[in-house]
Amino acid sequence: MVTRNSYDVIIVGAGPAGMCAALYTGRSMLRTVVLERGTPGGELLNTEKLDDWIGEKSILGWELARKFEEHAREFGAEFVTANVSRVTRLDDGTFEAVTDTGEVYSAPAVILTAGGTPVKLGIPGELAFAGRGVSYCAICDGAFFREQVIAVVGGGDAAVEEADFLTRYASKVYVIHRREAFRASRILQERLFANPKIEVIWNAVAEEITGDSTGLMNAIRLRDVVTEDVRMLDATGCFVFIGFRPNTGVIDGHFDHDEMGYIRTDATMQTSIPGLFAAGDLRSQLTRQVTTAVGDATTAAIAVEKYLKARTEGGVVVPQGMGGYAV
């Protein structure tokens, strides 16, 4: 039997954006449910420590996640553990969020804050040695590689930051980057270059991950993109940080997006689907940080309140630039 649950707003995803949005919709006295397939926190749970959260010189990722959740609950947000498989806008303008167990949540507005999924290398051996040497989460798996030689693939903020983090466990960390310069921020690069345990392999791509007779990873085959030379790098771990793909597959219907699949929104965080708002890492924007995620979420939550008020008063809602609505 299908269970239907009615709310004013549904928030899909309980990362920083989702929990901040829930805080603001709760403060607006909107009946709010946050649907999250795992523990609330999102990428905060994969981050050991933050030093760029304003007001905190240093705070643990899980600690900040707990504070976010507690604050949102304080204002009445309901958290439900559920994996959303589909979000559909019905003919009357309301939405249905259907979980993989068949449960249905309905509301006139949805804020999508589902984040992204790590991009895979797509090379032989990657899936075979996933969890047996290949990882996409340094804080989750770093402790399993004490005094081992490991590699990090990537050149952005995540790759550079996590490589530095992994040196507290590994005896040696190689950073493999396909170009001759990092895209990471300057302060992160300075930390990496100052770390004696780290060696950068420039202009190289990983082509295969191999293992031993025990089923564990033992090496990476590398190709130099300039000389085309191939060599084997002995390593028992490979941490992949080459980007994220936005988790937009739950949206039933066409929506405006950029060439990478990230959702385009207007200034109110509303998508091209009326009543569907997006915030955080799955939105098309310059940078993806905790601070930008909660900024998006604040705007989205306040815009939802205005949207619902206009919808109640006039039925037809037309977005008017910076957060106003005409009916």
Q: Could you state, in order of their start, the residue ranges of all structural domains in the chain?
A: 4-117+245-326, 134-240
Predicted pLDDT of residue 229: 97
- Rounded to two decimals, the pTM is 0.76
Give the pLDDT confidence of 158-204 residue by residue, as tens digits: 899 999 999 999 999 999 999 999 999 999 999 999 999 999 999 99
Predicted pLDDT of residue 101: 92
Give the pLDDT confidence of 105-129 residue by residue, as tens digits: 999 999 999 988 889 999 999 999 9
SS3 of 207, please? strand
Q: Which CATH superfamily is domain 134-240 in?
A: FAD/NAD(P)-binding domain (3.50.50.60)
Contact 97, 110 (CB under 8 A): yes
- What are the two backbone dihedrals, phi and then psi, of residue 191, each rounded to the nearest 5 degrees? -65, -40
Give the pLDDT confidence of 52-67 residue by residue, as tens digits: 889 988 899 899 999 9
Q: Does domain 4-117+245-326 have CATH number 3.50.50.60?
A: yes
Query: What count of other Cβ atoms lies within 10 Å of the Cβ of residue 6?
Result: 13
Q: What is the average pLDDT value for the chain, to the nearest integer?
A: 91
Which residues are the active-site residues? 137, 140-141
d(CA 35, CA 30): 16
